[in-house]
């Protein structure tokens, strides 16, 4: 999990998984939104290209990666939750087949120890956050946060609860039982946006977090 290439590879596999699960969720969460052609994938221009690429490249690297990760997990690295050791291998296998998130990405979306969020003027952060929310250059696949979340799209009812709280994607893909709002921003950066997480303590992360706090308020009032 040391090279950039490996990480990019994992990100690609991850976004491919999401593309499989998202159309179903779309039907559930935004009933009436899906059209005859039915495709949420149309929102994701690079979906097919990414898939072909991921499959091609995954073959060479997946096995070695799986072994390395199994070793890492067995030593307890990145497995903060103290999962059963027996799970390590199964998980590594899943990753090799593109069914999971690497231990390092799981760690990357969690608040680091001793973390202090960037402090700034709230109004300025919100304005910056709104720009970032609409900025497709934040992702590696042409999506912006707003592509999925305009008008409260794709949020689940968990979004109405005070943070930290349970989020299905957080638990399913990242093994987190509770998620803070800034961690949720990082999860969507890494998973649906297929990008690197934002720097912890950065103005960008604070801005997006502050903006999504307003999104939450709108969603609650809806
Ligand atoms: C490809 C679509 C997609 C993109 C792009 C996306 N998200 Fe999400 N987001 C989702 C889905 C799906 C959920 C619902 C997850 C769940 O409830 O398990 C979600 C949930 C959320 C939640 C609410 C979680 C909760 O219930 O508390 C927040 C906040 C959020 N996203 C922020 C963002 C931000 C910020 C960005 C941009 C950096 C972003 N999202 C980009 C698909 C997307």
Could you read off the pLDDT of 62-99 as tens digits, one per residue? 555 555 555 544 454 444 444 444 444 444 444 444 55
pLDDT score for 4: 61
Distance 145 CA to ligand 1 centre (A): 7
pLDDT score for 86: 46
The stretch 178-200 carries a mean pLDDT of: 98
The stretch 171-195 carries a mean pLDDT of: 97
Q: How is the chain split into domains, by residue range?
A: 4-101, 122-221
Whether 92 and 63 have beta carbons less than 8 Å apart is answered as no
Tell me the whole-structure pTM to 2 decimals.
Answer: 0.68
Q: What is the phi-psi region of residue 3: left when phi exceeds 0, alpha when psi lies from -120 to 50, beta otherwise?
A: beta
Could you read off the pLDDT of 130-149 as tens digits, one per residue? 999 999 999 999 999 999 99
Predicted confidence (pLDDT) at residue 33 exceeds the cutoff of 50 = no
Q: Is the peptide bond before 76 cis (omega within 30 degrees of 0)?
A: no
Q: At what angle do helices 4-29 and 47-74 cross, to 10 degrees?
A: 110
Runs of H (alpha helix) within the chain:
4-29, 47-74, 85-96, 103-108, 122-133, 145-149, 168-174, 181-190, 203-221
Predicted confidence (pLDDT) at residue 175 exceeds the cutoff of 80 = yes
**Percent of the chain whose pLDDT exceeds 90:** 54
Highest mean pLDDT among 33-37, 100-104, 129-133: 129-133
Residue 149 has φ and ψ, to the nearest 5°, of: -115, 10
Least confident of 51-65, 111-125, 143-157: 51-65
Q: How far apart are alpha carbons 16 and 35 in whole angstroms?
A: 21
Half-sphere CA count of 173, side-chain side, radius 13 A = 29
Name the nearest CA neighbour of 188 among 207, 174, 203, 206: 174
Could you read off the pLDDT of 159-174 as tens digits, one per residue? 999 999 999 999 999 9
The binding-site residues of ligand 1, defined as CB within 6 angstroms of any ligand atom, are 22, 25, 138, 143, 145, 147-149, 154-156, 158-159, 167-169, 184-185, 188-189, 192-193, 208, 212
Distance 179 CA to ligand 1 centre (A): 12
Least confident of 42-46, 99-103, 144-148, 214-218: 42-46
Q: How far apart are alpha carbons 193 and 11 in whole angstroms?
A: 9
Q: How far apart are alpha carbons 50 and 54 in whole angstroms?
A: 6
Q: Grade residue 183 by pLDDT with cuts at 50, 70 and 90.
A: very high
pLDDT score for 222: 86
- Please give the number of the atom of ligand 1 that sits closest to the Cα of 168: 18
Whether 75 and 115 have beta carbons less than 8 Å apart is answered as no
Q: At what angle do helices 122-133 and 203-221 cross, to 10 degrees?
A: 80
Task: Give the residue, 108 or 25, on which the prediction is more confident.
Answer: 108
pLDDT score for 100: 78
Distance 215 CA to ligand 1 centre (A): 11
User: In the CATH scheme, what is the code of domain 122-221?
Assistant: 1.10.760.10
pLDDT score for 186: 98
């Amino acid at each position: 999990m040391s090279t950039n290439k490996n990480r990019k590879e994992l990100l690609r596999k991850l976004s491919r998984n999401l593309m499989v699960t998202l159309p179903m969720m779309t039907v559930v969460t935004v009933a009436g939104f899906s059209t005859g052609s039915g495709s949420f994938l149309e929102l994701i221009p690079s979906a097919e290209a990414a898939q072909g690429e991921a499959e091609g490249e995954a073959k060479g690297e997946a096995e070695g990666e799986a072994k390395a990760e199994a070793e890492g997990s067995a030593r307890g690295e990145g497995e903060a939750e103290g999962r059963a050791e027996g799970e390590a291998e199964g998980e590594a296998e899943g990753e090799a087949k593109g069914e999971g998130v690497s231990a390092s990405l799981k760690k990357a979306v969690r608040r680091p120890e001793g973390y202090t969020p960037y402090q700034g003027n709230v109004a300025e952060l919100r304005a910056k956050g709104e720009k970032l929310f609409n900025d497709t250059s934040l992702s590696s696949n042409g999506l912006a946060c707003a592509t999925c979340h305009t008008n409260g799209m794709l949020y689940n009812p968990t979004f109405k609860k005070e943070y930290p709280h349970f989020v299905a994607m957080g638990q399913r893909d990242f093994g987190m039982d509770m998620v803070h709002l800034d961690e949720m921003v990082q999860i969507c950066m890494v998973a649906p946006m297929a990008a690197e997480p934002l720097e912890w303590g950065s103005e960008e992360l604070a801005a997006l977090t502050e903006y999504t706090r307003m999104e939450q308020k709108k969603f609650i009032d809806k």
